[in-house]
Structure 1
């Protein structure tokens, strides 16, 4: 089976900022980028990206899910990294144009077309460690992907980690490659030592996020997740799932969740824990590992509410349910 996100369309779309204005977007081969070895991004990590998807509906139309929110977050990431301001309308047009160009490559559900806008600082200036890049490159890369759960939906194992965070607190809201890289040592260690799938960071004993996803706890009619602040990523999938939970009449609580409360609630029959993200929508969690002990979440298996919320979102994405929230943009 081909690994998720390793197949790309032969072309992408890009625009360059020359210090004064953005160039007219152009379609180029996907392997065509050339960078000066002194490019700012290669030395000072001036880079951010987004991940969103396009879906094929039964009528043959192609629809992009929550493009507006992803573009808004990319503009925020660029601003917080002091990269040149992106033209949000231009980026929207770039995404629509390149997705339309490769509409035939969008798989049938449960597959999709993964869309990866990326913004990097390009100024060749290794003396600018304390100054932003005055030039940049914005491109949109496409990757047709299959069913994330093609091998079956298995419950994940999470190691709860109180010391350290996924990234520096002031970088939390930025979707930047460096944030993912900084969490890799903890994740690799957790996999080697306790066979954990991911690390759930709990600074000061308060549940936050994993290295690549937001965390949600489902206890009966309650769904609990950390309230948004500047220290962690504001997931578009998280927002979408909470919106659907409210549609169901669930008690959505965005608040502090201590490790103690998490373990106490997890011991109750029927409790579920899940990770939210673009690739999987919701990935069930069955085991929590804390201070050398393993704690089973509910039955330890994928739960019915996690599956229901995921299916509700998939049905909107796939055009099988009404898009009452205006989340889809038809190409």
Structure 2
């Protein structure tokens, strides 16, 4: 496809494509990247003109501030192709707002909306052949900003790079996951950066997650840092609980990421007449519901996972198996989301953003 760059974006096309070397039926999430990437640098107090160029290594000096002080944020998004070849993003305005919310918290410059949206649209259109139709298939989009200024003074950088890379994707979790309720370690604390999509949030949870994996659990559901009495979110997902026919999820705060999939599920629940409570969820409440049989489902929700059922949880050396429900809310929400994202069903809230 021959792209004509907008006057806002310079384009250098790759001399050849590696797409024919990719087995799209056996994709490992986040391991394969497309032919191009977008780069936009910040210096002299302003963002420069974005460039789309062949995917390639980036050069950083050893003194780049991101390597020493962790100024790094990112977003996770997807592009979808319907059966007619039309391409859509899902609520990119929400990712743009959250990116800049994260940037503000880490003392980084906000990124311009026209560069963000036009950059995504141009890059996605260029990588059109990497997006395969069919529910569950997508092109995962990773916009991120890192501090690139070569200086090791402990202060915010004055130079940054915004980049977008793309990776073809299928379902993130194919089987129900088993989780551990956190009792010792914390993902974030009051007044911290838990609500920001900061790279360090993920690095800090790798060690306790590895300990959980050694016990046979794939993820941790994090609890509040002060008491560990209240459930908040998992490592890569927001969490929903179904007790009886009531859906419950924790409220946003400065420890919990404002998930785009989470808020979409809350809206879909309202559309379907499903009772959904946004409130604090205690460990003791969920354990009691598991014991008396009223806990019907637990599932995670996120861009990569979409909706991922949880088959068991453990706390205080007790393991609780969750048998699931025939009228699974997880299946209902996943189906509704995928149908909207892939242009199969009505988009009554205007969430689909047509690219081309």
3-state SS, counterpart of residue 281 of structure 2: coil
The yes-or-no answer on 1:184 pairing with 2:206 is yes
CA distance in structure 2 between the partners assigned to 1:244 and 1:4 by the alignment? 27
After superposition, the C-alpha distances for 1:55-101 in whole angstroms (9 at most, x for unaligned) are 00122110011110001000110111001221122111111110111
CA change 1:17–1:89 in 2 (3 A) is: same
2:178 corresponds to which residue? 157
Alpha-carbon distance in 1 for matches of 2:36, 2:327: 40
**Deviation for aligned residue 1:301:** 7.6
Question: Which residues in structure 2 correspond to 1:67-146 (within 5 Å)?
Answer: 67-109=92-134, 110-127=136-153, 129=154, 131-146=155-170
Q: Specify the SS of the correspondent of 1:246.
A: helix
In structure 2, the partner of 1:295 is 320
Question: Residue 5 of structure 2 corresponds to which residue in structure 1?
Answer: none
1:304 equivalent in structure 2: 328
- The CA deviation at 1:163 is 2.5
Gaps (5+ residues) in structure 1?
Answer: none
Aligned with 1:242 (options 255, 262, 266): 266
Q: CA deviation at 1:302?
A: 8.7
What SS does structure 2 have at the residue aligned with 1:295?
A: strand
In the TM superposition, what whole-angstrom CA distance separates every residue of 1:122-165 from its partner, at most 9, and x where no partner exists?
A: 111112x2x1011110011111112335xx4x321111113331
State the TM-score, normalized to the length of structure 2: 0.88
Shift, 1:307, TM fit: 0.7
Aligned residues: 324
Q: What CA deviation, in whole Å up to 9, does each residue of 1:228-263 have, x standing for no partner? A: 111111111111111111111111111111111011
Corresponding residue for residue 341 of structure 2: 317
Alpha-carbon separation, structure 1, partners of 2:117 and 2:52 = 15
In 2, Cα distance between equivalents of 1:46 and 1:303:
44
- How far the C-alpha of 1:329 sits from its partner, in A, is 0.9
Structure 1 position 210, deviation (Å)? 1.4
Runs of 4+, deviation exceeding 4 Å: 300-303
- The alpha carbon displacement at 1:300 in A equals 5.2
SS of residue matched to 2:240: strand
SS state at 1:253 partner: strand
Instruction: Please name the residue that 2:77 is paired with.
Output: 52
SS at match of 1:287: strand
**1:168 Cα deviation (Å)?**
4.1
Say whether 1:197 aligns with 2:221.
Answer: no
Query: Following the alignment from structure 1 to structure 2, what is the Cα–Cα distance between the partners of residues 34 and 74?
Result: 23
Instruction: Measure, in 1, the Cα distance between the counterparts of 2:57 and 2:312.
Output: 44
- Given the alignment, which residue of 184, 187, 191 partners 1:166? 187
Matching residue of 2:296: 271
Unaligned stretches of 5+ residues in structure 2: 1-25
What do residues 103-129 of structure 1 show as CA deviations (whole Å, max 9, x unaligned)?
A: 1211112210101001111111112x2
Q: Which segment is superposed worse, 210-219 or 261-270?
A: 261-270
User: 1:36: which partner in 2?
Assistant: 61
TM-score by length of 1: 0.94
41-50 vs 196-205, which moves further: 196-205
Partner of 2:87: 62
Cα distance in 2 for residues equivalent to 1:52 and 1:277: 10
Instruction: Indicate conservation of the 8 Å contact 1:84/1:135, yes or no.
Output: no
Coordinate RMSD, CA, aligned:
1.5
Aligned residues of 1:191 and 1:198 also touching (Cα < 8 A): yes
Higher mean displacement: 83-92 or 47-56: 83-92
